């Protein structure tokens, strides 16, 4: 028999695992005569055609910091695998020589150590430009009390992760910016346990994002790793926010997971003397409905309450704020008052370290500058940032724009892509829906109407988003408006399906002005609030190499003029409800190759990579200071 075990042929490159097992066990004589390189080609070939029926990771439980956790951050052992051959070698088995004539061509012992969480690229020179596989290993001891359950939770791994425990595949996860977990209650061993992770940040044509994007592709286990111990039944998820349009009524739910789904549930807010009681049903779900006199959260007064969510077998505590965000006519309204969103775009990068941002202190660096600029909103572009960012922004009085990595040329018509979008949407909303600071779900950035199936896929996504959470505003960012004779023609059909029209325009940088900024005219496809979600241009801090009115010298004055013109032009934009300059800091992007001015950095920052303020910073700050939301 050729087939010693069934091959699951589905649709993913992880088929490599099964195919390699298959060849290993069935064509051993043939294998001996083939060079490893031929094998890699063979596996990659099969990999393109099909995939392993990988066990998909579970949706992560929320509010990890309030749980009984054992943190697995720190040094992990690593094997660098730029060619991807580690899958064929089945590194997760950690084979050891048995006979005198045996040898094994890999080992975690004696190899490099990598810090977790962090990107791998900035930890070793040979990983600087790596877009491929790194294998990580961590051992831990754990004694699980009888009747308890244990989960292995990852904040995020970019981009595909296969996770093994004690030599067995727990499952896989695709998507670089959202959490996932595996229950390991039964797979856990007494004594030492070994986690091995294959973290692969190769770009995928059918990935989210796809193959082309203007930021650094930081790979690895980029966010916290935790073991979470729970009772047999625990609070898996909850949604505790104000009912849409109300400033007093909470409408939400609690969801239990476990063998005792039906339990007494309590939600207490001691400061408000709220003590709400209910019972969960046979599916573990309970509706939460109560009223109180909340001090509403706002950028000026970012009030958060300690909310205790309890069932008979679990308690979690969360800092939750209450506010109402809505659209009334063509205005964005917070707690009943129109508000102008003074935003700034931020990438998840600490420019000072020139590395992926992952910690609360990184978040503090970025958000402190946003506050100093006078912002009340941060657009966390172009993917869900780490939870520290979202939580700290909320605490600091910054509204948050959360975004999916549905960026530019996504293959909307490729089978599987819509499912990936849907999964990432669920993962993002699940993690952040109790953060009142989050006011906008942004579903995409700069997609193109000519891409097959785009409208169908994104309209469906926006429906799913509203089903998951109808309390926040939705947007999809577009940059394909016409601009001729100093007139903007904003027509994209997707605008019909969002609460807020967001558009990116780079007049003065990629597109020259066609008239005076103060004379710009606008035509809109529909009457809704408008956010100019990106504008700007590049400047190298301190650049004074050439004429100040020529773009090719990256001068601060040239960028400053763009900001002067843009802030003048904003006065002409009907329904303008907010703006977001691109971008707070210079950030790493390998497509930015000018050796004198860019050197691998997108220089559109208002701040240099070392935090120096460029001239444009002061124009933007003055503009924000001139707008009162009182």
**Binding interface with ligand GCB (CB under 6 A):** 214, 382, 445-446, 479, 504, 534, 582, 602, 604
Q: Minimum Å distance from CB 510 to ligand GCB?
A: 7
Nearer Cβ to ligand GCB, position 394 or 586?
A: 586
Q: Contact at 8 Å (CB) between 580 and 370?
A: no
> What CA–CA distance (Å, rounded) separates 229 from 68?
6
Please state, as a whole number, how many other Cβ atoms lie within 10 Å of the Cβ of residue 372: 12
Q: Name which of 84 and 605 has its Cβ closer to ligand GCB.
A: 605
Collapse the DSSP code of 503 into the 3-class scheme (helix H, G, I; strand E, B; otherwise coil) and give the result. strand
Which of 282-305 are b and which e, b meaning 16 or more Cβ less than 10 Å from the residue's Cβ?
eebebebebeeebebbbbeebbbb
Question: Smallest distance from the beta carbon of 381 to ligand GCB, in angstroms?
Answer: 6
Q: How far is the CB of 329 from ligand GCB (least distance, A)?
A: 28
Q: Is the peptide bond before 193 cis (omega within 30 degrees of 0)?
A: no
CB of 422: closest distance to ligand GCB in angstroms?
22
Nearer to ligand GCB, 302 or 537 (CB): 537
Query: Least CB distance from residue 582 to ligand GCB, whole Å?
Result: 5
Q: Which two tokens stand for residue 402?
A: 């959360």
Provide the greatest CA pair distance for the chain. Answer: 83
CB of 182 to ligand GCB, least distance (A): 33
| Closer to ligand GCB by Cβ: residue 88 or 215 | 215
Q: Please give the distance of CA 90 from its chain centroid, rounded to a whole number.
A: 30
Nearer to ligand GCB, 231 or 349 (CB): 349
620: enclosing H helix or E strand: helix 615-625
Residue whose C-alpha is closest to residue 178's, from 476, 402, 360, 379: 402
The residue among 214 and 326 lying less far from ligand GCB, judged by its C-beta, is 214
Buried/exposed 517-535: b ≥16 CB within 10 Å, e otherwise: beebebebbeebbbbbbbb
CB nearer ligand GCB, residue 76 or residue 215: 215
Residue among 151 and 213 whose Cβ is closer to ligand GCB:
213
Least distance (Å) between residue 217 CB and ligand GCB: 13
**Whole-number Å distance between alpha carbons of 553 and 527:** 40
Cβ 479 to ligand GCB shortest distance, Å: 6
CB of 616 to ligand GCB, least distance (A): 14
Residue 239 C-alpha from the chain's centroid: 20
Are the C-beta atoms of residues 157 and 122 closer than 8 Å to each other? no
Is the CB of residue 108 less than 8 Å from the CB of residue 138? Answer: no
> Which of 577, 602 has the CB closer to ligand GCB?
602
CB 241 within 8 A of CB 433: yes
Q: CB-wise, 382 or 391, nearer to ligand GCB?
A: 382
Q: In degrees to the nearest 10, what's the CA dihedral of 271, 274, 280, 284? A: -20
What distance in Å separates the CA atoms of residue 14 and residue 7, rounded to the nearest whole number? Answer: 12
Give the nearest distance from C-beta 405 to ligand GCB in angstroms: 11
Within 10 angstroms of residue 397's Cβ, the number of other Cβ atoms is 18
Closest CB to ligand GCB among residues 36, 212: 212
- In the complex, what is the shortest distance from the CB of residue 538 to ligand GCB, in angstroms, rounded to a whole number? 8
Tokens of 381: 């572009």
Residue closer to ligand GCB, measured from CB, 193 or 445: 445
d(CA 31, CA 23): 8
Q: How far is the CB of 61 from ligand GCB (least distance, A)?
A: 32
Smaller CB separation from ligand GCB, 248 or 480:
480
Count other C-beta atoms under 10 Å from residue 463's C-beta: 11
Q: CB of 459: closest distance to ligand GCB in angstroms?
A: 21
The minimum distance between CB 347 and ligand GCB, in angstroms, equals: 8
Judged on CB neighbours under 10 Å (0-12, 13-18, 19+), 45 is exposed
Query: Exposed (0-12), middle (13-18) or buried (19+): which is 63, by Cβ within 10 Å?
Result: middle
Give the burial string for 213-223 (b: 16+ CB within 10 Å, else e). bbbbbbbbbbb
Of all residues in the shown chain, the one whose CB is closest to ligand GCB is: 214
Judged by beta carbon, residue 174 or residue 446, the one nearer ligand GCB is 446
């Amino acid at each position: 028999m050729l087939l010693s075990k069934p091959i699951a042929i589905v649709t993913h490159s992880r088929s490599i695992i099964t195919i390699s097992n298959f060849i290993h066990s069935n064509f051993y004589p043939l294998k001996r005569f083939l060079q490893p390189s031929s094998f890699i080609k063979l596996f990659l070939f099969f990999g393109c055609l099909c995939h392993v029926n990988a066990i998909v990771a579970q949706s992560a439980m929320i509010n990890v910091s309030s749980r009984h956790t054992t943190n697995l951050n720190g040094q992990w052992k690593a094997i660098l695998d730029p060619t991807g051959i580690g899958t064929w070698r089945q590194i997760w088995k950690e084979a050891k020589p048995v006979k005198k004539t045996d040898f094994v061509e890999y080992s975690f012992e004696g190899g490099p150590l990598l810090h977790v969480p962090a990107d791998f690229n900035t930890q070793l020179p040979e990983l600087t430009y790596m877009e491929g596989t790194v294998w990580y290993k961590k051992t831990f001891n754990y004694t699980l009390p009888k009747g308890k359950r244990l989960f292995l939770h990852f904040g995020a791994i970019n981009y595909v992760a296969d996770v093994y425990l004690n030599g067995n595949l727990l499952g896989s996860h695709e998507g670089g910016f959202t959490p996932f977990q595996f229950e390991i209650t039964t797979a856990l061993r007494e004594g030492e346990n070994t986690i091995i992770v294959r973290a692969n940040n190769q770009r995928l044509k059918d990935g989210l994002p796809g193959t082309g994007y203007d930021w650094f592709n930081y790979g690895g286990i980029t966010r916290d790793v935790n073991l979470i111990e729970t009772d047999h039944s625990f609070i898996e998820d909850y949604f505790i926010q104000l009912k849409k349009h109300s400033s007093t009524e909470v409408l939400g739910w609690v969801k239990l997971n476990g063998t005792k789904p039906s339990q007494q549930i309590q939600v207490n807010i001691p400061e408000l003397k709220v003590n709400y009681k209910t019972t969960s049903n046979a599916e573990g779900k309970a509706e939460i409905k109560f009223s109180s006199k909340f001090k509403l959260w706002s950028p000026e007064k970012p009030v958060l309450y300690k909310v205790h969510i309890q069932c008979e077998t679990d308690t979690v505590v969360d800092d939750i704020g209450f506010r109402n965000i809505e659209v009334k006519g063509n205005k964005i309204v917070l707690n009943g008052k129109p508000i102008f969103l003074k935003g700034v775009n931020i990438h998840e990068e600490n420019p000072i370290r020139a590395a992926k941002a992952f910690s609360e202190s990184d978040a503090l660096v970025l958000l402190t500058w946003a506050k100093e600029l006078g912002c009340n909103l941060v657009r966390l572009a172009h993917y869900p940032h780490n939870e520290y960012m979202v939580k700290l922004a909320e605490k600091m009085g910054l509204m948050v724009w959360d975004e999916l990595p549905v960026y530019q040329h996504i293959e909307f018509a490729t089978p599987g892509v819509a499912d990936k979008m849907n999964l990432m949407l669920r993962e993002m909303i699940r993690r952040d829906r109790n953060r009142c600071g989050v006011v906008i779900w942004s579903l995409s950035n700069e997609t193109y109407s000519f891409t097959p199936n785009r409208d169908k896929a994104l309209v469906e996504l926006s429906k799913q988003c509203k089903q998951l959470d109808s309390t926040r505003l939705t947007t999809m960012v577009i940059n394909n408006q016409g601009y001729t004779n100093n007139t903007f023609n904003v027509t994209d059909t997707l605008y019909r399906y969002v609460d807020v029209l967001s558009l990116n325009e780079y007049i003065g940088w990629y597109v020259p002005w066609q008239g005076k900024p103060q004379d710009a005219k606008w035509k809109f496809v529909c009457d809704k609030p408008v956010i100019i979600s990106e504008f700007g241009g590049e400047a190298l801090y301190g650049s004074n190499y050439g004429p100040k009115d020529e773009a090719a010298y990256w001068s601060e004055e040239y960028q400053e003029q763009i900001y002067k013109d843009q802030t003048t032009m904003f006065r002409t934009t009907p329904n303008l409800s907010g703006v977001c300059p691109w971008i707070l800091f210079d950030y790493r992007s390998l497509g930015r190759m000018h050796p004198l001015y860019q050197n691998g950095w997108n220089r559109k920052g208002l701040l240099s990579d070392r935090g120096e303020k460029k001239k444009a910073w002061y124009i933007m700050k003055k503009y924000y200071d001139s707008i009162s939301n009182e």
